[in-house]
A and B are shown apart, each in its own frame.
Chain A
Amino acid sequence: MSTPGADPREPWPLWEVFVRANRGLSHVHVGSLHAPDAEMAIRNARDLYTRRNEGVSIWVVSAEAVTTSDPGARDEWFESPAGKNYRHARYYEKAEGVRHL
């Protein structure tokens, strides 16, 4: 195992932080931080992102492990739903006699 920081000019690796605010909610991305390894990343996240009772659970993910969509391909990826109103539930008329909808 190579030791992070063995080269003093090399910064610690980047980690993405997810915090769950409460039971029943999902973990939400809150930001990122540097840490030498996952164990320390969790601790740094506790110090940086849960100082004011923001959470009950933390996940950290190595930023390198995150695969992102191509920001340059936004049009073809994300504009297609425009005008396709039938994808929304409210597009449809409520059938007669259906209750509790």
Chain B
Amino acid sequence: MSDPHADVHGDVTVHEVELAEELAGSGAGVASPDVAEYAMYLGDDALILAQQLGWWISRAPELEEDVALANIALDLLGHARSFLHYAGSASGRSEDDLAYWRDEPEFRSAWLFEQPNGDFAHTIARQLFASLYFEALYRGLAGSTDAGLAAIAAKAVKEVVYHVDHAEQWMLRLALGTDESRRRITVAVADLWPYLDELFRDDALTGRLAAAGAAIPPGSLRAPVMDAVEDVMRRCELQAPEVPYSAAGGRSGRHSSQLGYILAEMQVLARAHPGATW
């Protein structure tokens, strides 16, 4: 009955951690050509924003904010991997093939995501717009008739809700903090406002997919996202800026001058050493 080797403190064991599935939706099979193109819109938005946020690592105002931005970047990179993995299933390409071996005109990201990091206020204003858009989009997409898109969106929505909170908290502190922080966030909101409209433009592809219940029509996101943006602006005691919308055309591969620089940095290593692993 009594074991002479028993530890008087009781057994101490280290349980093996159960690792969850890394790529959401990877069991959904092969995407149709239309769904693959749409998944590229979604994956490229997340990929470019993740790459941009990565710049802040070691450069944020404090170490803790460094970690917060890196965490968000990694969440977004996870969404991008899942969407691009699914997009690539239609053409036999991996998510790395799509990220590293497409050229600028083949990227489908909207212009908001390629806008410069600017100062911390610009990054936060971009995070607010992007996160509110992702939240509304993924909430709807979690009910998509396409099983792959639905699975990725259902996992991503919990993460982007946290990103919304992070951006809102900083919006409030910058807008209601010092004269300098308020001046900077006012400039940042005005600089990024022109890129909101592109997110809500319907096109032929989203029209076809929405009719089948697979995609969320971009136009249907305008009211909920803009209401949420304006609610944050009101709490920040900021006015919506009166600036014209950008002619942005990211969904058809027409990009601003910013994307080329981002891709050059993101792709240089993979292209210099094709197939390298570490």
* A binding-site residues for B, Cβ under 8 Å: 3, 5-6, 11-12, 33-37, 39-40, 43-44, 47-48, 51-52
In the A-B complex, the 5 residue pairs with the smallest Cβ-Cβ separation, listed nearest first, are A44-B64, A47-B68, A47-B71, A47-B67, A3-B177
* B258 adjacent to chain A (CB < 8 Å): no
* B166 adjacent to chain A (CB < 8 Å): yes
Chain A positions within 8 Å of B67 at CB level:
44, 47-48
Chain B, interface size: which category?
Answer: 10 to 19
Q: Is the CB of B178 within 8 A of A33?
A: no
Q: Is the CB of B68 within 8 A of A6?
A: no
Chain B positions within 8 Å of A12 at CB level:
62, 64
When A34-B62, A34-B63 are in contact, do A44 and B178 touch as well, CB less than 8 Å? no
9 contacts between A and B (CB under 8 A): A11-B62, A12-B64, A34-B63, A35-B64, A36-B173, A37-B173, A43-B68, A48-B67, A52-B17
Total number of residue pairs linking A and B with CB closer than 8 Å: 35
Most B CB within 10 A of own CB, among A3, A33, A34, A40: A40
Chain B positions within 8 Å of A52 at CB level:
17
Complex formed: what's the CA distance from A26 to B252 in Å?
54
Complex formed: what's the CA distance from A39 to B63 in Å?
17
Q: Is the CB of B71 within 8 A of A40?
A: no
Residues 19-49 of chain B, each 1 if its beta carbon lies under 8 Å from chain A, else 0: 0000000000000000000000000000000
Q: Apart from A12-B64, A48-B64, list 10 A-B contacts with CB within 8 A.
A: A6-B177, A12-B62, A34-B63, A37-B173, A39-B169, A40-B173, A43-B68, A43-B165, A47-B64, A47-B67
